[in-house]
Amino acid sequence: MAQRVTARSTTDLVLRVLREAHRPLSVEQILAGVQQIAPVHSANPKNTMRKAISQMFLVQPTHEGDYAYLPYLLNQNRFRHPIERGALTRRSFLLGPELVTALWPATFEIAKRRDDSPAVLLLGGRKEAEAVRIHRAAEGWGFEAEPAFWSWLEDQNPHTGDELLFTVLDADARRYDLQLLRHEERDEGAIAERNLEVANLAEGLLKAAHDAVILSNLAVRLIGMDVYRHPIPPDPLATILRRDQRFVDAGLDMVALADRWPGYAEQPVDMRRLMGVTVGDLVEESEGD
């Protein structure tokens, strides 16, 4: 007997189709794939697919307008991470939204789709070490790693201004190459060009949103646009936005365009937080769907 598609199962079927496809698909192709598994009897099947897509962080639009499984979009992406002061002492790194998404693609998913398994870091092309994701209320996302990672890093004798370069080998399998880049190896001109490219794309996305956007949502859209699939990664997204006068910190991990942002009226924090999860087309799947 054919499986009956329900509102709750549609998202799972869409995710399955995209995972098995191993490539971006149009809405029509996604619908065709779902219908091979189970008939879709809604009045507007394409809209049913679009609604399911909108409910998943693990499914993202590409620069060509199709949709893809996020871990596949992440493969061969490269991310630059400055070694912040005190990281070696406290044995943890703070992570921006693009890097925590790269290392743990389901970080911002609903609970049933979240996967907190360790990331495997290939250290300088040789040794391996596992890293686990952490979250601290005051500082945000970060990672802690096993002793082999810290021993490798200390052996490099890093200095302020040095950076870690993460290359995604297989995001679905959680495998990453990790290299140390010295400050003097930075090609400032090329990196400035990359930063400007990121800022211009971010400006376009914020104009389309007509409101403030949660930083993690902005970061994942940029990943879908292949911003990080380049030999020279840009600086961290938060650094780029902070240095560009076109953008303003809207609070609660949100960013907005400075010339379009009047700010929210004074409201209780809980209300502002509620607004934060509804702004920027973040649709959270209800358990009652």
DSSP string, 165-214: EEEEEETTTTEEEEEEE-GGG--HHHHHHHHHHHHHHHHHHHHHHTS-EE
Whole-number pLDDT of residue 137 = 78
Whether residue 288 is predicted with pLDDT greater than 70 in this model: the reply is: no
Cβ–Cβ < 8 Å for 63, 221: no
Residue 139 binned pLDDT confidence (cut-offs 50, 70, 90) = confident
234: nearest Cα among 99, 78, 100: 78
| Token duo for residue 245 | 């006068």
Tokens of 179: 């290299």
Tokens of 25: 């698909």
Which of 24-33, 55-64, 132-141, 217-226 has the weakest average pLDDT?
A: 132-141
Residue type, 162: D
Is the pLDDT score of 278 beyond 50? no
Residue 281 has pLDDT above 80, yes or no: no
Confidence band (pLDDT; 50, 70, 90) for 6? low
Per-residue model confidence (pLDDT) at position 136: 86
Question: How far, rounded to the nearest angstrom, does the alpha carbon of residue 150 sit from its chain's CA centroid?
Answer: 25
What confidence score (pLDDT) does residue 21 get? 97
Burial class (CB in 10 A: 0-12, 13-18, 19+), 36: exposed
Burial degree of 26 (CB within 10 A; 0-12, 13-18, 19+):
middle
Strand-by-strand arrangement of the 119-123 sheet? 78-82, 163-170, 175-181, 119-123, 127-136, 140-145, 93-94
DSSP string, 57-101: TTEEE-TTS-EEEHHHHHTT-EEEEE--TTHHHHT-EE--HHHHH
Q: Determine the Cα–Cα distance for residues 242 and 235; give it in Å rounded to an integer.
A: 11
CB 120 within 8 A of CB 130: yes
Residue 168 confidence class, pLDDT cut points 50, 70, 90: very high
**DSSP at 112:** G
Q: What is the pLDDT of residues 35-68, one digit of tens each?
A: 999 888 889 999 999 999 999 999 999 999 999 9
Query: 279: buried, middle or exposed (CB in 10 Å: 19+, 13-18, 0-12)?
Result: buried
The model's pLDDT over 238-270, given as tens digits with 9 standing for 90+, comes to 999 999 999 999 998 999 999 988 765 544 444
The full length of the chain comes to 289
pLDDT at 3: 52
